[in-house]
Amino acid sequence: MSYAYPLTPGDAGRQCMRGSCCLASDPWVPWPRLRPHGPSRSSDTLSAVGTEVGSLQSSDESAICRARRDRRSGAILVLFALLLILLVGMVGLVIDAGLLMAAHRHAQNAADAGALAAAQDILEGRDSAAATDTATRFVTEHNQDSEARIAMPAPTVNIPPTSGPYAGMTNYAEVIVQNPTPTYFIHVLPGVASENTVGAQAVARVENRAAGAGVIALDPKYKNKPGVGVTGGARLIVNGRVYDNSELGGVDENGKPIDNGNTGVAGSVANNSTLIATEVRVVGGVDNPENFESYDAYADPQSDTQSSEPRVLRTGELPVPDPLLTLPTPTVANGVDPTRRGSPTASDGGLYEGTVSPSANYIETDATTGKQTLVLHPGIYDSIKITGGKVRFEPGIYVLSPQVNTTTTLNITGGDVSAKGVMFYNTGSTYDPQTGLPDSLDGEHSPPAENAHFGGVTINAAMEFLPIDFDKYSYDPMYRPSDDFEGMLFYQRRRNTEDISLQGDAEEGNLAGTLYAKWAHFKIAGQGTYDAQFIAGSIAISGQGDVTINYVGDKIGKAPQVFLVE
The residues pairing with 384 across neighbouring beta strands, listed in sequence order, are 410
Question: Sorting pLDDT into bands at 50, 70 and 90, what band is 182?
Answer: confident
Which amino acid, residue 436? G
Q: Range of 376's domain?
A: 332-527+555-564
Residue 44 in domain: yes
Residue 542 in domain: no
| pLDDT the model gives residue 81 | 75
Residue 554 has pLDDT above 90, yes or no: no
For the chain, the domain total comes to: 4
Residue 460 in domain: yes
Q: What is the mean pLDDT of residues 201-228?
A: 90
Question: Sorting pLDDT into bands at 50, 70 and 90, what band is 3?
Answer: very low
- 3-class secondary-structure state, position 405: coil
The rounded percent of the chain whose pLDDT value lies above 90 is 59
What are the two backbone dihedrals, phi and then psi, of residue 305, each rounded to the nearest 5 degrees? -60, -45
Residue 53 in domain: yes
Residue 320 in domain: no
Q: What are 99-156's pLDDT values in tens digits?
A: 888 888 888 999 999 999 999 999 888 899 999 999 999 998 877 655 444 567 889 9
Whether 392 and 435 map to the same domain: the answer is yes
What are the two backbone dihedrals, phi and then psi, of residue 190, each rounded to the nearest 5 degrees? -60, 135
Q: What are 30-62's pLDDT values in tens digits?
A: 544 444 555 555 555 545 545 555 554 555 666
Q: What is the mean pLDDT of residues 261-267?
A: 94
Whether 521 and 424 map to the same domain: the answer is yes
Q: What is the distance of C-alpha 62 from the center of its chain? A: 81
Whether 349 and 424 map to the same domain: the answer is yes
Is the CB of residue 553 less than 8 Å from the CB of residue 511? no
Question: Sorting pLDDT into bands at 50, 70 and 90, what band is 86?
Answer: confident
The rounded percent of the chain whose pLDDT value lies above 70 is 81
Residue 540 in domain: no
Residue 534 in domain: no
| pLDDT the model gives residue 55 | 55
**Which of 68-82, 355-369, 481-495 is the most confident on average?**
481-495
| pLDDT the model gives residue 72 | 57
Residue 319 in domain: no
Question: Sorting pLDDT into bands at 50, 70 and 90, what band is 309?
Answer: very low
Is the CB of residue 117 less than 8 Å from the CB of residue 136? no
Is the CB of residue 261 less than 8 Å from the CB of residue 252? no
Question: Sorting pLDDT into bands at 50, 70 and 90, what band is 516?
Answer: very high
Question: Sorting pLDDT into bands at 50, 70 and 90, what band is 24?
Answer: very low
Q: Which of 33-47, 282-296, 541-555 has the lowest mean pLDDT?
A: 33-47
Q: How far apart are CA 466 and CA 510, in angstroms?
A: 7
Query: In this predicted model, which residue has the larger pLDDT, 144 or 490?
Result: 490
Question: Sorting pLDDT into bands at 50, 70 and 90, what band is 179?
Answer: confident
Spatial CA neighbour of 236 closest among 285, 287, 295? 295
Q: What are 388-444's pLDDT values in tens digits?
A: 999 999 999 999 999 888 899 999 999 999 999 999 999 999 999 999 999 999 999
| pLDDT the model gives residue 46 | 45
| pLDDT the model gives residue 13 | 44
| pLDDT the model gives residue 112 | 94
Q: What are 336-345's pLDDT values in tens digits?
A: 999 999 999 9
Whether the full predicted model's pTM is greater than 0.95, yes or no, is no
Whether 120 and 220 map to the same domain: the answer is no
Which parts of 306-389 are beta strand (E)? 313-314, 345-347, 350-352, 362-365, 372-376, 379-381, 384-386
Question: Sorting pLDDT into bands at 50, 70 and 90, what band is 271?
Answer: confident
Whether 484 and 344 map to the same domain: the answer is yes
Question: Which of 81, 104, 133 is the last residue before a domain boundary?
Answer: 81
Whether 344 and 370 map to the same domain: the answer is yes
| pLDDT the model gives residue 558 | 76
Question: Which of 60, 81, 102 is the last residue before a domain boundary?
Answer: 81
Whether 269 and 340 map to the same domain: the answer is no
| pLDDT the model gives residue 149 | 46
Q: Which of 28-37, 288-297, 356-365 has the lowest mean pLDDT?
A: 28-37
Q: How far apart are CA 282 and CA 268, in angstroms?
A: 11
Question: Sorting pLDDT into bands at 50, 70 and 90, what band is 497?
Answer: very high
Question: Sorting pLDDT into bands at 50, 70 and 90, what band is 356?
Answer: low
Whether 155 and 203 map to the same domain: the answer is yes
Residue 75 has pLDDT above 80, yes or no: no
Whether 344 and 398 map to the same domain: the answer is yes
Q: What is the mean pLDDT of residues 490-500?
A: 97
Which amino acid, residue 210? A
| pLDDT the model gives residue 45 | 53
Q: Which of 208-212, 376-380, 475-479 has the lowest mean pLDDT?
A: 208-212
Which amino acid, residue 481? P
- How high does pLDDT run on average in the chain? 84
Pairing of strands 500-503, 456-460: parallel
Whether 203 and 345 map to the same domain: the answer is no
Question: Which of 208, 230, 263 is the last residue before a domain boundary?
Answer: 208
Q: What is the mean pLDDT of residues 219-231?
A: 93
Whether 32 and 115 map to the same domain: the answer is no
| pLDDT the model gives residue 17 | 46
Whether 193 and 107 map to the same domain: the answer is yes
Which amino acid, residue 152? M
